[in-house]
Structure 1
Amino acid sequence: MMAVDAQRMCYGLYCGKPIIAWNGTTEIYGECGVCPRGQRTNLTTKICQQCMESPELYDWLYLGFMAMLPLILHWFFIEWYSGKKSSSALFQHITALFECTAAALITLLLSEPVGYLHIQSCRVQMLSDWYTMLYNPSPDYVNTIHCTQEAVYPLYTIVFIYYAFCLVLMMLLRPLLIKKIACGLGKSDRFKSIYAALYFFPILTVIQAVGGGLLYYAFPYIILVLSLLTLAIYMSASEIETFKDLLVKKKRLVVLLSHWLIHAYGIISISRVDRLERDLPLLALVPGPTLFYLLTAKFTDPSRIHLEEGSGH
């Protein structure tokens, strides 16, 4: 690689000149092209710079959201296939939590700086940072300069690494657990939650590969909408219409508190807690949808509506 003039600007939005050597206090730059992994080009000087910043709170919340997706799906399918009489569901839930937690810790420890539970990153500046492959320049409209790189290092690839560790740990731990404790299930039903994971992990991987940048900006609103929908569906399916119905089973309270935590997570992600005195009071809205449902459920009961229609005739 030849040294070039640092003043000559590179084509394209993400092409940059890597530092290939030092001559005393003078930096010697290479040809314009793709920056090495862990670096991104400075939009002003077009020089590749090392990613040395710490992720913002919003970045951590995004990574937390991507980490929660497989865990929530694990819990859903475990509950779906375990059946009401199975006593193995709780142990499978705990195992799934252990798998995802261990995968997250291993992923962080293997990321730069290796051996620490924090990461070095490049800040996300715009949506195009997630899709650098779409911005390879063609100065002469014939030849393309390939400058595809991870401009949001490591927010894009760290999710794939995490999913890989989740899958490996699941395949190592879950079959042994199910074989020992899932005696109440039929032989064909024992491993259905694992089979489901073998389907949703590739789907999550494709979603991250194609829509990672869109998810980065939209995930707080996705959390709020899905938490509201799933809470309403659960309370309707469980025929919960009063506060007393919530207290009948501990499982209902656990589900309710889980939804409240996810709802609070979404509110924090939207507000980013830039100003505590303004944003923290928003958490008081978390029980709002539940209270609204309980107060209005009796007016939307289908049997009550049909009864009133019959009395009207």
Structure 2
Amino acid sequence: MGVEMFPACPGLYCGKPKIFENSTYVLLGECGVCPRGEKTDVEKICQKCEDSPELYDWLFLGFMAMLPLVLHWFFIEWYTGKKSSSALFQHITALFECSAAAVVTLLVNDPLGSLAVRSCKVKMLSDWYTMLYNPSPDYVNTLHCTQEAVYPLYTIVLIYYAFCLAFMMLLRPLLVKKIACGLGKSDRFKSIYAALYFFPILTVLQAVGGGLLYYAFPYIILVLSLITLAVYMSASEIQSLKNLVAKKKRLVVLFSHWLLHGYGIISISRLDKLEQSLPLLALVPAPAIFYLITAKFTEPNRILSEGGNGH
């Protein structure tokens, strides 16, 4: 196959798009930004991304998809959990909204109408921030080559958030109006109002910190799940296994945190070596067991009484 030879493009991400191609000849354009869904190769020629996301990429997308769902559940519980029996129905509705948004997002992504995803491999952190690497060959004019080098990990999350917001606005107000009769008019829609605040925050978080989250999310999951589990067990005054199993809701919260622990461990290990990674999952219940064993020694009333006796 014949290819017109030109000087290599400057910068990390500038490439020559293919204007015409057949079995014997390829005509290349001028150096610039590659079309969406393409990335430069070693010869600085734009090539279509034909890879499939790796396990770690899917785990990252799963983490970003979980964020709005967890926030939905938190604010539903915060505003209606103790005041109305409608909380369960709102939890289920939030799960349906996010699940439907995820399926629709995959269907509208390339290849259209399929749950499969065509992607470019992430090689380094700079792939997420191509706008910072636009070259200036003559030190005066800048050659703008900003593109989605991590296609589609950057935009697919933003599209998913848009569908989540759309489904929420279509479904939740009707549901809340019908089943949240035990709440005052001002309280009925507070969980929806909260979503109108956290969706823009999540969007900015992905737009600005997507690359950092991509490399740090396994550790974020582990740290946050440990902290929230300790706070919940402390606030619920769980001092023993008997207190823990007294209410089904506490067990649901515990198992949810265990799932997050396991998710974080799998994300860190990437399951490269199963014989080394799977035993790590045995550590999932360790924080809860450690808390139950040591809780009686850190009870404030006991510490104060022992301190008083010491004096």
The whole-number CA distance in structure 1 between the counterparts of 2:113 and 2:263 is 28
Residue number in structure 1 paired with 2:80: 82
Report the AA paired with residue 194 of structure 1.
I
CA distances 1:242-265 after superposition (whole Å, capped 9, x unpaired): 000111000000000000001100
Q: Deviations over 1:274-297 (max 9, x none)?
A: 011110110000000000000000
The whole-number CA distance in structure 2 between the counterparts of 1:55 and 1:23 is 29
What residue number does 1:228 align with?
Answer: 226
- Post-superposition offset of 1:23: 5.2
Distance 1:131 1:220 in 2: 21
- Please name the residue that 2:141 is paired with: 143
> Which residue does the alignment assign to 1:242?
240
Q: Which residue of 2 aligns with 1:196?
A: 194
How many angstroms apart in 2 are the aligned matches of 1:24 and 1:150?
Answer: 28
Of 48, 65, 68, which aligns to 2:66? 68
Which of 129, 132, 135 is residue 131 of structure 1 equivalent to?
129
Q: Which residue of 1 aligns with 2:151?
A: 153
Q: Write the distance in 2 (CA, Å) between the matches of 1:187 and 1:208.
A: 34
Deviation at 1:41, TM superposition (A): 0.8
Q: For 1:152, what is the secondary structure of its paired residue? A: coil
Tell me the distance in 2 between the aligned counterparts of 1:192 and 1:23: 59
Q: Partner residue of 1:26?
A: 25
- How do 1:269-288 residues align onto structure 2 when only pairs under 5 Å count? 269-288=267-286
1:160-309 to 2 correspondences below 5 Å? 160-309=158-307
Amino acid of the structure 2 residue aligned with 1:204: L
For 1:118 and 1:76, locate their aligned partners in 2 and report how far apart those are by CA, in whole Å: 31
CA distance in 2, matches of 1:223, 1:23: 48
User: What's 2:16 paired with?
Assistant: 17
Q: CA deviation at 1:192?
A: 0.1
Mean alpha-carbon deviation: is it higher for 23-32 or for 102-111? 23-32
CA distance in 1, matches of 2:229, 2:275: 29
Judging changes above 3 Å, is the alpha-carbon distance between structure 1 residues 285 and 241 closer, same or farther for their aligned structure 2 residues? same
Which has the larger displacement, 78-87 or 135-144? 78-87
Q: Deviations over 1:136-159 (max 9, x none)?
A: 000111000000000000000000
- How far off its partner does 1:116 sit? 1.1
Q: What is the alpha-carbon root mean square deviation over aligned residues? A: 0.9
Partners of 1:86 and 1:270 in 2: CA distance: 39
- What is the TM-score normalised by the length of structure 1? 0.97
Q: Are the aligned partners of 2:107 and 2:114 in contact in 1 as well (CA < 8 Å)?
A: yes
1:311 Cα deviation (Å)?
1.0
Which amino acid in structure 2 is aligned with residue 216 of structure 1? Y
Q: What is residue 38 of structure 2 aligned with on the other side?
A: 39
Identity of aligned residues (%): 78
Of 101, 118, 121, which aligns to 1:120? 118
Distance in structure 1 (CA, Å) of the matches to 2:182 and 2:156 = 38
Tell me, in whole angstroms, the C-alpha distance in 1 between the residues paired with 2:102 and 2:71. 16
State how far apart, in whole Å, the 1-side matches of 2:22 and 2:187 are.
67
Task: Output the CA distance in 2 between the equivalents of 1:125 and 1:305.
Answer: 53
Taking structure 2 as the reference length, what is the TM-score of the superposition? 0.98
Is the contact between residue 83 and residue 183 of structure 2 (CA under 8 Å) also seen in structure 1? no
State the alpha-carbon separation in 2 of the partners of residues 216 and 163 from structure 1.
17
Distance, in Å, in 2 between the alignment partners of 1:228 and 1:24 is 57
Q: Deviations over 1:206-249 (max 9, x none)?
A: 00000000000000000000000000000000000100011100
User: Structure 2 CA distance, aligned partners of 1:6 and 1:160?
Assistant: 38
CA distance in 1, matches of 2:280, 2:24: 52
Alignment partners' CA distance in 1, 2:68 and 2:113: 24
Distance across 1 between alignment mates of 2:126 and 2:30? 23
List alignment gaps of at least 5 residues for structure 2: none
Q: Which residue type is aligned with residue 130 of structure 1? A: W
Structure 1 window deviating more from structure 2 (176-185 vs 19-28): it is: 19-28
Shift, 1:115, TM fit: 1.1
What is the CA-CA distance between 1:7 and the residue it aligns to? 4.3
> Does the CA contact (< 8 Å) of 2:11 and 2:134 recur in 1?
yes
